[in-house]
Structure 1
Amino acid sequence: MNGSTQPDIAGPSGDVSTPRHDATSTREPTKDELCCGFICCHPRCLQRFASLKVFILVVCLLLCFSAAALAVFEGLVTTIETRYQLSASEIGLSASMFTAGTAVSTVIVTHFGGRPTSRRPVWIGLGGLCLAVGAALHALPQFVFPPYQLPSSVLLESSSDNSSEVRGGLCSANSGTGDDASCDSEEQQILRDNNIAYIIIVVGQILLGVGYGPLVPLTLAYVDDNAARGTTGLASGILESMFGLGAIVGFQIASAVVSLWVDFYRVDAATWSGLTPRDHDWVGAWWLGMIIEAIVFFVLALPLFGFPRRLPRSHKEKDEDPPKAEAIGLGEDGNGHVNTSALKDLKDWPGSIWRLLKNVIFLLACLSFITEGALIYSLAAFFPKYMQVQFGLDVFMANLIAGFAFVPPWAVGALIGGIIVKKFSPGIQGSAAIGVVSAVLACTFAVALMFVGCDNPRIAGVTVGYQGHDLGPTTSLESACNTDCSCPSETAFSPHCGPDGVTYFSSCHAGCAKMTENKTYTDCSCLMPDPATASSDVTVSPPPATLTFGHCPYACTNKGAFIALMVLWAITLSSATSPRIIVIVSSVPPSDKSFALGISRVLMLLIGSLPFPFLYGAYIDSACFVWQTLCGQRGSCVIYDIEQFRRTIYGLTTALIAVQCLAFAAIWLIARVRASRSGNYTQEHKVAETKAVGKDSAQTAPSDG
C-alpha cells in the first residue's frame, strides 16, 4: 500500500541489473537459458509464453494478491483478536514481523538472485511459494485446534434448551461463577492453544514478508535485462499500482469470508443460531481468506519456474546493446570470470554510505520517509478495527469503507504530487516547499479527525453507573443490584440493552433471573423503568422492565464527516511522495542516486514500518476499558474508551506528521541558505571581475590614445 518508489537493485554507482548480453562472452546461450520449460523439458507449446508481457502479467497478479493478503489480515483484526484472545499490541507485533521478513529477504535474496548467472524468475517463484506457505500457516491453527467456544452467556441466546445454559447468563445466587473450577483443565488448554496459534500466525507473517521482499527488485532487474531501454520505469509504475488494487481486493475478500461462521464446516449450525455478522459475538471464517490466498500464490508461483534466464526475442534484438555495469553484488560474468565491476562497487560502498551520512538534506528526507512508512503500515493495520470500534460498524461495512476511503485517495494524492513535479520541475527547495504544504494540510486534517467521532456509549459500570448512580473512580461491573448474582467474570461479554438505553455487560450483570421464549429477560434487578412508559398515576403500575440481546442503538452522525476528512488527509499526505524522491535524488551525486533510494527505503522499513505498528497497538491497548480474561491472563479488549481511542490514534498520527513537516521545513531552509550563499558568491565574483576589467582598461587607456 505504499505509494513510494521502490528502488531497483543497485550499488553506489547507480547502475541497475545485469547486462542484457555479455559483450565479452563468445558462447551462445543454451536452450535452458532461452526457452520456457521445467528442468529438462522444454515443449514447443510453452514457447509462446516466453514473453515479457506474460511474465509481467504473472508477477502483477502475484503482487496484487500479496497486497490482498495483508489487507485480509488487517480487515479481520478484530475477528482474529476475539478468536485467539489477542491484544492490539500483539497484532501490531505480528504486522511488524512482516516488515522484518521483508527487510531480511530483500538483502539476502536480491544478492543471490541478482547475480548475472542467476535465473531470476526462479527466485521470484520461490518467493511466491514462500507467500503460499506463509498464508497457509495463518490458517493452520483453525485445523489443528478444537472449534471456537462461545462464552456461556452467548450460548444461552442461541440455545433452545435452557436447562444447563441458564446458569451461565442469568442471575442465580447458587450457581457460582465456575471460572476457577474450569480454569485448571479446559480453559488452561484453550489458553495454551491460543498462545501456540499466535506463534504460528507470527511465523506466517514473517514468511509473507520473506516472500514479498524480493518480488519488485528482481522483477525490475529481469525486465531491464530483457526490455527496450526506458521500459523499466513503466514496469515500475505498473507494479506499484498493484499494491493499491490488491488492498481493495483484500478488503473485499475479508468482507466476504466473515459472513460465514468460523467453524461452519465442523459444528452444528445451532451453535451460532441467533447470531449474525453484525453481532459483537460473531466470529467469522477469517482463515478462509488465507486459504484462498495460499491457493492463488501457489498457482501463480508455478509458471515462474518455467521462464528462462533470458527471453529469446530480447536476446536476438539486444545483442548489439552496450553492456551495463553489473551492480548487484559479487558474481560471475557469462564466462565464469569474477565480476570486477561488482568488486569495485563493493569497495565503493563505505565511501557512498559516508557521503550519505554527511548529507544533512538526505538524512532529513529519510526522516520524512520514515514517518510516512510508520503512518502507512500502522494505520493500514488498524483502520478497519478503528471503524468498527469508533462507529459500531460490522466487519463487512468497515472493510468496504477501508477499501475505498484509504487506498484510492492515497493513490490519487501520489498522482497529484507526481503531476505537480512534472509540470513545475522543482528543485530541492521547491520540492521541500511542496512537502511543507502537504504536511501542514495533512496535520490540520489529522487534528480535526481527533474531534470527529462518537461519544462513549452508555454501558453500566463502565461509562455510567448502575440505576442512575454516579460512576465510581474505576470501572466496576459489580453493583449492589447484582452482587448476589454470582455472575461469570469478564470472560463472558455479551451486551444486552435495557429499556433505559443503557447497555449491560451481560444479562446476569443486569440482574435478570428469567428469560422468556422470545429471548427477552425479566425480573432484572438492575434495570430502571423506561421513562417513556412510566405513568404519573400512582395507581397504574408500569410494565415490567425487560432486557434484549445486543448493544443499545446510539446516534452518531459523524461517520460521513470522518470519511471525508480521511480522504482529504490521505490525498494531502501522499502528495509529498514524488517531491520527497526529487529531494533525495537531487541532494546526492549522480553515482549515489540508486543507492540513496535503496538506503532510504531500508531506513523506512527498519525505523518506521518495523516498530510503529507495535507502538500503535500499545497505544490502542491503553484505551481499553474492559479486558476479556482467561485463567487470569489478559486476552482481547471487549470495551474501548472510544474517545481516548480516537485521540490516541490521531494524536500519534499528528505528531508523526509534525515531524515530517519540520523535516521538510529544515530542508527548505538549508536549501535556501545554500542557494543564497551561492548567489552571493556568484554576484561578488562578477563584481570583482568587472572591477578588474575596469582597472585594466584604465591602465591601458593612455597608450591607446
Structure 2
Amino acid sequence: MDGKMVPEQAKVNANPPFLDKSHGLHSVKRFTLSVSKLKIFLGALAFSFFAKGLSGSYMKSMTTQIERRFDISSSIVGLIDGSFEIGNLMVLILVSYLGSKVHRPKVIAIGCVIMAVGAFISVAPHFIMGRYNYKSIAISVHNSSTSTAACLPTLSPHPAADNMGIYGNATTLGCGKHRASYLWLFVLVGNLLRGIGEAPIMPLGLSYIDDFSREENSAFYIGAVRSIGLFGPTLGFLLGAFCANMWVDIGKVDADSLMINSKDIRWVGAWWLGILICGAASFLASLPFWFLPRSLPKEGGERNIQAMPSDIYAITQDNHVKTEGRTQPPLKVLSAVKDFFLTVKKLLGNVVFMVFLLLNVLQYNVIVGSTSYEPKYMEQQFNISVSNAIFFIGIVLLPFATVGMFLGSFLIKRFKMGIKGMAKFACITFAVSYCFNLLYFIANCEPLQVAGLTVNYAGIKQPSFSQENLISSCNSDCNCEANHWDPVCGDNGVTYMSACLAGCKTSLGTGKDTVFHNCSCVGVSGHGNLSAILGQCPREKCSKMYPYFLAVLAISVVSLCLGATSLYMIMFRVVSPDLKSFGVGIETFCGRIFGGLPAPIYFGALIDRTCLKWGVKPCGGSGACRVYDTNAFRNIYLGLNAALKGGSFILYVVLLILILKRVRQDNGMGKVSQSTEKLSMKIPATGPGEPSSTETSVYEDTFL
C-alpha cells in the first residue's frame, strides 16, 4: 500500500492541485485572497509609518514647550529627547537579527500599541500638575480700577508675588511637596516606550513586503509605503505649530484673559493635546496587523509557486496546497550568538563600510541636534513665536527634503549611475549643501537689548552680566524682585526685566493694554517719554533677515537630500548581499547610539551656556532660561553644525577615494561574464529575509 502511495504523492507534489485546470476556481480565489492580504498589509504599514513619523516630529517640535512647562534646562530636555533612542536601541538589533523568525505582523502590532501607551504616559503630568501660572503684574492691574505702581518704595509684598510660576503658591503647598518637581520623568518614560515600540516597524515591515511580493514590485511597494510615511513628519510639525499656538490649559482658562502672547518666553502651548492625537493614531495603526497571517503565498500565484522548491508548500488532507513559506529550522541560541559575532566581524572588517559608518554617525548628530533645537534657534534669533518657527519647519524643511530625495533618486535612475557615479554625486551635492550652510552666519539679527543683562541702564553694551547690574540708581528705591521676569518695552527701545526694574510709578489701562508711565529708568538713556508697554521690544532687522534664512535653509536641505539616496545605495553596494539587512541594522544602531542619543544632550548643554537669565523656581533652583545671549547662541549652534558637517565632508572625500580605488582594482581583474550574471539571476533566494537574486546580480555587476 505504501508502495502505491509514493508515486501518487510524487504526482501531487509535481502538480499541486490548485495549479491543475480542474482546480482553477480554487486557484483564483486563493491567489486573490493572498493579494488582498498583501494590499491590506501595505496599507497598514503605510499608516504605521505615518503614525511613527507624526509622533516623532511632533515630539521634536514640542521640546521648547516641555522645557517651559516643567521649568527645566535644555540639557534635561535633550535627555528626554534622547530617551527615544535609548528605547529604540534596546530592541533594534534583536529585532533586525531575528527577522522572519517571528510573527512579523503581530510584533509590529505590539510595537504600535507600546507607542500608544508611551504617548498616554507622557501626557499624564498635564492632568496631575494643575493649571500653569505665570508671574505678571498685569494680572493685578487687570483686577484693579485704580492706577497701580510697579515701583513700590515700601517693603510691602509685590502684587506679582501671588503668581508663583507652574507650582502655584509655594507658601500653601510647601517646598517639599511640589508634585511638579520631577513629573518630566513621565515624559521621559513615555518617550522611551515610544522608541521601543517603533523599533520593529521598519525592519520587519519592509522585509515582509520583500518576501511575499514579486521582485519587480518590491521596490515600488517599499517606495510607496515610505512616500506615504513622509506625510507623517510634515503633519507632525504642522500639528505642533497648531498646538503651540494654543494655551496649555485650553478649556480651563479663557484665552482672552491671558496677559502674554505666543512670542513671550513664558508662553506654553497645548503640548499634551498633540501627544494624545499621536497616541490615538499609533493605536489605530496596530489594529489591522492583528488579523494578518505570519506568511503569505508569494505574489504572482501559479508562476511563483511552480518555481518554488517542494519544501515550501505542504499538501493537506483535502489535497490543498498550504503555502506557509519555507520551514525555519529551530533556533539554536549558542549557534546564533556565534554566527552573530562572526557576522559583525566580517561586516566591520570592510574598510569602506567603516568609513560610511563614521560618516553616518556624524550625519545623525547634525540631523538630530538641528531638528531638536531649530525652533528654539529661530525663535531667539529672528524674534518669532515658537509656533511660527515650527510651522515654517513643517512647510519648508520636510517638503524640500522630500523633493530632494525624489529628485536624487530620479537622477540616479536617469543617468544609470554606478557606484562610482553615485559616490561623486553624493560628494558634490554635500559640498554644495555645506557651502550654503556656511551662509547661515550672514543671516544675523541684532541682539535683544535688556537693561542690566546685555546693556546697562544708560543703553550702553556691557561686557558681562552680574546680579548687581540689575539694580541701578533709577530703581534702587523700588524694592524690586531681581529674579522676576515680566518684561516691558520702554519707549527708548530697551527691554526691562519688569516694570518695577524700569522704575515705573503709575499705569493706565488694564490687562494686555496696560501702559506704564513715569518710568525713571527709561529716561536714563536720554530720550523717550518715560513710558513702557508689556512685552519685549521688537527687533526690526530680524524681520528682514528671516526670509533670507528660510531661502538658504531650503536650498541647503534640497542639496543635502539630493545625495541621500546615492549614499544609502553605496552602503548596499559595498557589503556582500547576505549582509545587507544586517548592515542596515548596524548602521542604524551606531547612528542612534553615537548620534541620536548624545546629540540632543550636548547640543542642549552648550546652548544652556549662552543663557543670561535663568528663571528661579519658588523654592530655589534654576528653572527654564528666560534670556539668551543671541550672538553666543548663534555662534555655538551654527558653529557646532558647521564643525560636524566639516568632518562629514572630509569623510565624503575619503569614501570617494576608497571607492575609486576599489573600482580601479576591480576593473583590472575584469568584470563578471554575461553568462555568470544570467546564471546568478536564476538563483532563488534561500529564505525570507535573505537577498533576492536581483540584488545579488546587481551587486556583482556594479561592484566586482
Length-normalised TM-score, structure 1: 0.79
**Aligned pair count?**
617
- 1:575 is aligned, of 550, 555, 562, to 562
The percent identity for this pair of structures is 27
Match of 1:123 in 2: 107
Q: Residue by residue, what CA displacement relative to the aligned partner does 1:439-491 show, whole Å, maximum 9, x if unpaired?
A: 3222212221123131202111122110335525324322222233222242x
- 1:161 is aligned, of 144, 149, 171, to 144
SS, match of residue 442 in structure 2: coil
Question: Which amino acid in 1 is paired with 2:629?
Answer: D
Deviation at residue 377 of structure 1 after TM alignment: 1.7
Pair 1:381-2:372 in alignment: yes
Worse-superposed segment, 588-597 or 637-646? 588-597
Pair 1:585-2:580 in alignment: no
For residues 104 and 446 of structure 2, the distance between their equivalents in structure 1, rounded to whole angstroms, comes to 54
Pair 1:295-2:280 in alignment: yes
Taking a change above 3 Å as real, the CA distance of residues 187 and 615 of structure 1, as seen in their structure-2 partners, is farther
Taking a change above 3 Å as real, the CA distance of residues 367 and 635 of structure 1, as seen in their structure-2 partners, is same
Match of 1:497 in 2: 489
Pair 1:620-2:607 in alignment: yes
For residues 56 and 465 of structure 2, the distance between their equivalents in structure 1, rounded to whole angstroms, comes to 38
Alignment of 1:368-447 (within 5 A): 368-447=359-438
For residues 581 and 311 of structure 2, the distance between their equivalents in structure 1, rounded to whole angstroms, comes to 14
Match of 2:155 in 1: 174
Deviation at residue 651 of structure 1 after TM alignment: 0.9
Pair 1:639-2:632 in alignment: no
Alignment of 1:420-569 (within 5 A): 420-469=411-460, 471=462, 473-475=464-466, 476-490=469-483, 492-518=484-510, 519-528=514-523, 544-555=529-540, 556=542, 557-569=544-556
Question: Which amino acid in 2 is paired with 1:485?
Answer: C
Question: Which amino acid in 1 is paired with 2:491?
Answer: P
Deviation at residue 205 of structure 1 after TM alignment: 0.7
Q: Residue by residue, what CA displacement relative to the aligned partner does 1:217-254 show, whole Å, maximum 9, x if unpaired?
A: 12123323432233332232223224431111011112
Q: CA RMSD of the aligned region, Å?
A: 3.5
Question: Which amino acid in 1 is paired with 2:470?
Answer: L
Kept in 2, the 8 Å contact 1:105–1:211? The answer is no
Question: Which amino acid in 1 is paired with 2:624?
Answer: S
Taking a change above 3 Å as real, the CA distance of residues 352 and 338 of structure 1, as seen in their structure-2 partners, is closer
Question: Which amino acid in 2 is paired with 1:357?
Answer: L
Worse-superposed segment, 463-472 or 378-387? 463-472
Deviation at residue 311 of structure 1 after TM alignment: 4.7
Deviation at residue 390 of structure 1 after TM alignment: 1.4
SS, match of residue 614 in structure 2: strand
Taking a change above 3 Å as real, the CA distance of residues 172 and 309 of structure 1, as seen in their structure-2 partners, is farther
Pair 1:97-2:83 in alignment: yes
SS, match of residue 636 in structure 1: strand
For residues 374 and 222 of structure 1, the distance between their equivalents in structure 2, rounded to whole angstroms, comes to 30
Match of 1:11 in 2: none
Deviation at residue 391 of structure 1 after TM alignment: 1.0
For residues 226 and 208 of structure 1, the distance between their equivalents in structure 2, rounded to whole angstroms, comes to 28
Taking a change above 3 Å as real, the CA distance of residues 670 and 125 of structure 1, as seen in their structure-2 partners, is closer
For residues 276 and 392 of structure 2, the distance between their equivalents in structure 1, rounded to whole angstroms, comes to 24
Worse-superposed segment, 563-572 or 473-482? 473-482
For residues 591 and 359 of structure 2, the distance between their equivalents in structure 1, rounded to whole angstroms, comes to 9
Match of 2:684 in 1: none
Match of 1:671 in 2: 659
Taking a change above 3 Å as real, the CA distance of residues 156 and 408 of structure 1, as seen in their structure-2 partners, is same
- 1:653 is aligned, of 633, 641, 647, to 641
Match of 2:74 in 1: 88
Question: Which amino acid in 2 is paired with 1:520?
Answer: V
SS, match of residue 182 in structure 2: helix
Kept in 2, the 8 Å contact 1:427–1:586? The answer is no
Kept in 2, the 8 Å contact 1:623–1:641? The answer is yes
Deviation at residue 320 of structure 1 after TM alignment: 3.4
Kept in 1, the 8 Å contact 2:95–2:203? The answer is no
For residues 309 and 251 of structure 1, the distance between their equivalents in structure 2, rounded to whole angstroms, comes to 35
Kept in 2, the 8 Å contact 1:362–1:584? The answer is yes
SS, match of residue 287 in structure 1: helix
Q: Residue by residue, what CA displacement relative to the aligned partner does 1:4-63 show, whole Å, maximum 9, x if unpaired?
A: xxxxxxxxxxxxxxxxxxx99x999xxxxxxxxxxxxxxxxxx89953223222222222
Question: Which amino acid in 2 is paired with 1:73?
Answer: M
Kept in 1, the 8 Å contact 2:455–2:462? The answer is yes
Kept in 1, the 8 Å contact 2:436–2:556? The answer is yes
Taking a change above 3 Å as real, the CA distance of residues 255 and 48 of structure 1, as seen in their structure-2 partners, is farther
Worse-superposed segment, 618-627 or 310-319? 310-319
For residues 321 and 482 of structure 1, the distance between their equivalents in structure 2, rounded to whole angstroms, comes to 89
Match of 1:359 in 2: 350
Pair 1:605-2:592 in alignment: yes
The gaps in structure 1 that reach 5 residues or longer are 1-22, 29-46, 327-332, 534-543, 683-705
User: Which structure shows the bigger proportion of residues in helix conformation?
Assistant: 2
Taking a change above 3 Å as real, the CA distance of residues 438 and 637 of structure 1, as seen in their structure-2 partners, is same
Question: Which amino acid in 2 is paired with 1:356?
Answer: L
Worse-superposed segment, 523-532 or 649-658? 523-532
Taking a change above 3 Å as real, the CA distance of residues 154 and 620 of structure 1, as seen in their structure-2 partners, is farther
Deviation at residue 569 of structure 1 after TM alignment: 1.3
SS, match of residue 215 in structure 2: coil
Pair 1:132-2:116 in alignment: yes
The gaps in structure 2 that reach 5 residues or longer are 1-12, 19-32, 313-323, 671-704
- 1:74 is aligned, of 51, 55, 60, to 60
Kept in 2, the 8 Å contact 1:413–1:572? The answer is yes
SS, match of residue 123 in structure 1: helix
Length-normalised TM-score, structure 2: 0.79
For residues 221 and 661 of structure 1, the distance between their equivalents in structure 2, rounded to whole angstroms, comes to 32
Taking a change above 3 Å as real, the CA distance of residues 325 and 347 of structure 1, as seen in their structure-2 partners, is farther
Kept in 2, the 8 Å contact 1:427–1:583? The answer is no
For residues 588 and 97 of structure 1, the distance between their equivalents in structure 2, rounded to whole angstroms, comes to 31
